[in-house]
């Protein structure tokens, strides 16, 4: 039987050829995510991306399926228990998003610091006005929950703005460009120091609703919350209460518990909230970067039988 790789996202001819070059003995086939060919999938050893309705075919006991390279960093919507039971190697797209998402994070911070979000609204009303509350990023403290690729890139850029950087991670290990890193069980101590608190955490059992009333109450008065991680890491009702009370001065939100955000949701009407439609990671270079990860992993897979980059630990869910 010919070994095959199936991909579910558009690739250029050059990207396809670069994959073929590192995958001798494999055929590379494009799958249709809306109408997947189950017979074709039943013979696939490697899949790039995911589609609805393919789990039973890929995960049957006699399938050739061995490795899944996701198109996203998030894996919470995948059938993780079944993948783990079958011993499927799972790699994600961590690292693809660092540059575009860090740009969005600083977009939020600069909008809030310079009141540019208010200026845009004033322009729509032809209103010449400033209340004089504009500030600067220099000497402010940014607390970043999640010190991986996105958090590290954000900390690196923050140093150019002469900001103090504090990280929060499960291990608490030192990371370049962070002045200090706290473990997750000391997150309240960390956020109490922040002028800006950035949530770049993945969704796991441990991070579900991690940002709740208890954590928000530990925030510094008048601080800002930015979530570009996963919507379900935040208790939305508690966030709204913190914003209404004035304890939080504002929030920049790219992800939500319910997506799309319902049109009647109260967050839409809050002038101290900036909303983007889960697009912080979108970039015209996305496919290029996922292919780079896959090529690196394919070389390792051919040589050792296992991809070496972004390999998911099922017990940790990341």
- Among 53, 13, 178, 259, residue whose Cα is nearest residue 41: 53
Q: In this structure, are residues 260 and 268 in contact, taking their beta carbons and an 8 Å threshold? A: no
How many separate helices (H) and strands (E) can be counted in the chain? 11, 12
- DSSP reduced 3-state for 275: strand
Q: 3-7 and 26-30: which strand pairing?
A: parallel
153-156: long-range contacts, CB 8 A cutoff, minimum separation 24: 153/98, 153/99, 153/102, 154/102, 154/105, 154/106, 154/198, 154/200
Q: Is the peptide bond before 157 cis (omega within 30 degrees of 0)?
A: no
Dihedral of CA atoms 208, 312, 181, 233 in degrees, nearest 10, equals: -20
- Is 169 buried (19+), middle (13-18) or exposed (0-12) by CB count in 10 A? buried
Determine whether 66 is an active site residue. no
| SS3 assignment, position 129 | coil
Catalytic-labelled residue, pool 9, 265, 278, 296: 278
**Tokens in use for 170?**
């499960």
- Whether 60 sits among the annotated catalytic residues: the reply is no
Residues 6+ apart with CB under 8 A from 223: 191, 194, 195, 196, 197, 248, 249
Strands (E), 31-161: 46-48, 67-69, 89-91, 141-145
DSSP, residue by residue, 177-219? T-SEEEEGGGHHHHHTT-SEEEE-PPP-TTTTT-BSHHHHHHS
Q: Which residues are known to be catalytic?
A: 230, 278
């Amino acid at each position: 039987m010919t070994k095959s790789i199936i991909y579910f996202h558009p690739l250029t001819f050059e990207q396809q050829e670069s994959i073929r070059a590192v995958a001798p003995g494999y055929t590379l086939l494009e799958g249709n995510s809306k109408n997947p060919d189950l017979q074709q999938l039943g013979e696939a050893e490697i899949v790039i991306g995911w589609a609805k309705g393919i789990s039973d075919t890929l995960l049957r006991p006699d399938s050739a399926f061995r490795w899944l390279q996701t198109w996203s960093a998030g894996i919470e919507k995948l059938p993780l228990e079944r993948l783990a039971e079958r011993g499927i190697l799972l790699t994600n797209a961590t690292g693809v998003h660092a540059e575009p998402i860090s740009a969005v994070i600083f977009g939020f911070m600069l909008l809030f610091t310079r009141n540019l979000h208010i200026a845009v609204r004033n322009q729509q009303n032809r209103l010449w006005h400033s209340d004089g509350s504009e500030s600067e990023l220099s000497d402010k403290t940014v607390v970043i929950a999640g010190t991986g690729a996105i958090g590290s890139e954000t900390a690196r850029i923050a140093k150019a703005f002469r900001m103090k950087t504090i990280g929060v991670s499960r291990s608490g290990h030192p990371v370049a460009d962070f002045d200090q890193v706290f473990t997750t069980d000391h997150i309240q101590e960390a956020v109490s120091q922040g002028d800006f608190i950035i949530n770049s955490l993945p969704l796991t059992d441990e991070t579900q609703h991690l940002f709740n009333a208890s954590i928000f109450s530990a925030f510094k008065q008048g601080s800002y919350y930015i979530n570009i991680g996963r919507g379900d890491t935040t208790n939305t009702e508690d966030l709204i209460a913190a914003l209404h009370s004035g304890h939080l001065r504002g929030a920049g939100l790219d992800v939500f518990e319910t997506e799309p955000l319902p049109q009647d949701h109260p967050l839409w009407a809050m002038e101290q909230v900036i909303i983007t439609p889960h697009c912080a990671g979108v970039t015209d270079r996305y496919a290029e970067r996922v292919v780079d990860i896959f090529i690196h992993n394919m070389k390792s897979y051919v040589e050792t039988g296992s991809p070496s980059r972004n390999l998911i630990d099922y017990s940790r869910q990341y």
